[in-house]
């Protein structure tokens, strides 16, 4: 069954050519995009959808979220808004609530959060463990996450639980806990920050997970300048996330990691993506990550929601894009690219092999997964021009209309 979506006023492909097509159309066959181009030249299809002169983007790719949790942290949020500084310790509150919640309820809560994200245009997302923090509950979180998210990251190294020796807990994360989650996860992450894990402990975790065949990510440089960025680049991590406080050498290291990659062809050795989390920055009252400086230096940048109960309880990628334009000095095209292609790059899903069905996401191109986001506006500029407005009109996820 093929579907022609026509009368698209603006089609922002975010492909390697970064095309913006006017009066465009897209054809979907199964889960893949089979044709894009000018509407007047579109081939016949089994059914036709009239976009009504609206703009179309790739579906958002949210490469950083924490959807497996229970409980409420509004009191912490209120205290922070009243001037209390953010610290990593609030994770323990969520850990206790999550451990006390049944599998059924934890799954139901996560599925509801995924549905919220999809309803706002997110079509591919990663989520993490990290609120179990013992072998049983981390394994449970990984198993449940694998049923609701597209990719799962092991974050046993989120925080050292109260009363435990940090080095002994790090041994647990690198050993029995890692073995328990390994069947369900693709990535490993560590919160390399003061109050969480030191550089030495973070290195141990990342090295053990790399040796187990997992890709690497790092929570780094959120609360101050620190070793997170340098460690991520040194170990070849796919992304380092937060990046609020960067020294000159951090930006240089990130830029150098992309020296062997050709952005025009999408080939060569990927570097470490700098993932900015503006909704979290606003909630924690940290400086916004320097996305403009990173892009100007040649670093590949992603935007993600960081949806979590303590510091960024939103899955609205449109809000992140709007903030990036209005406050982080990105153009609309750059911000949308960071929230689509950039997220796919951070998850190693920007490439695809159409012949064997390995579908790329984050861009609109023939052979890629048909993840499409139709706005109730004539151009993507309206995302920043009309901030806060619910502009998602329709969403296709792997060729299926979700809204």
Could you tell me which residues are annotated as the binding site? 64, 66, 73, 131, 158, 219, 222, 306, 308, 310-311
Report the alpha-carbon distance of residue 254 to residue 299 in Å, rounded.
6
Query: Both tokens of residue 375?
Result: 């706005």
Burial 33-50 (b: 16+ CB within 10 A, else e): bbbbeebeebeebeeebe
Report the alpha-carbon distance of residue 339 to residue 345 in Å, rounded.
10
Which residues line the annotated binding site for 4-imidazolone-5-propanoate?
73, 131, 158, 222, 311
Query: Both tokens of residue 171?
Result: 């041994």
Quick check: 142 and 178 in contact, CB under 8 A? no
Which residues line the annotated binding site for Zn(2+)?
64, 66, 219, 306
Which residues line the annotated binding site for Fe(3+)?
64, 66, 219, 306
Task: Sort strands 47-58 and 32-38 into parallel, antiparallel or unpaired.
Answer: unpaired
Which residues line the annotated binding site for N-formimidoyl-L-glutamate?
131, 308, 310
């Amino acid at each position: 069954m093929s579907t022609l979506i026509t009368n698209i006023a603006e089609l922002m492909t975010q492909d390697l050519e970064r095309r913006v097509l006017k009066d465009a159309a897209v054809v979907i066959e199964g889960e893949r995009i089979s044709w894009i181009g000018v509407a007047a030249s579109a081939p016949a299809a089994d059914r036709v959808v009239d976009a009504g002169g609206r703009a179309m983007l790739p579906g958002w790719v949210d490469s950083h979220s924490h959807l497996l949790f229970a409980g409420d942290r509004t009191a912490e949020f209120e205290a922070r808004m009243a001037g209390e500084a953010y610290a990593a310790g609030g994770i323990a509150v969520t850990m206790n609530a999550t451990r006390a919640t049944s599998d059924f309820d934890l799954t139901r809560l996560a599925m509801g959060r995924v549905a919220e994200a999809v309803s706002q245009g997110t079509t591919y997302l990663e989520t993490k463990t990290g609120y179990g923090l013992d072998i049983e509950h981390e394994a449970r979180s990984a198993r449940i996450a694998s049923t609701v998210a597209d990719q799962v990251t092991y974050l046993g190294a989120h925080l050292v639980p109260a009363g435990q020796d940090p080095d002994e807990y790090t041994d647990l994360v690198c050993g029995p806990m890692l073995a328990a989650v390994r069947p369900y996860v693709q990535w490993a992450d560590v919160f390399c920050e003061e109050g969480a894990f030191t550089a030495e402990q973070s290195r141990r975790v990342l090295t053990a997970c790399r040796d187990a065949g997992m890709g690497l990510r790092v929570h780094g440089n959120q609360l101050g300048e620190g070793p997170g960025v340098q460690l991520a680049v040194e170990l070849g991590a796919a992304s380092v996330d937060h990046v609020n406080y960067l020294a000159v050498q951090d930006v240089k290291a990130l830029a150098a990691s992309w020296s062997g990659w050709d952005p025009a062809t999408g080939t060569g050795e990927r570097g470490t993506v700098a993932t900015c989390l503006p909704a979290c920055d606003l909630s924690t009252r940290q400086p916004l990550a320097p996305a403009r400086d990173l892009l100007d230096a040649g670093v590949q940048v992603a935007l993600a929601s960081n949806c979590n109960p303590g510091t960024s309880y939103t899955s609205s990628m449109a809000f992140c894009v709007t903030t990036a334009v209005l406050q982080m000095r990105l153009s609309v095209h750059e911000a949308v690219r960071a929230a689509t292609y950039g997220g796919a790059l951070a998850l190693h899903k920007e490439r695809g092999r159409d012949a064997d069905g390995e579908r790329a996401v984050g861009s609109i191109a023939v052979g890629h997964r048909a993840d499409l986001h139709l706005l109730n506006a004539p151009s993507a500029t309206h995302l920043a021009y009309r901030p806060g407005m619910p502009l998602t009109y329709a969403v296709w996820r792997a060729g299926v209309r979700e809204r």
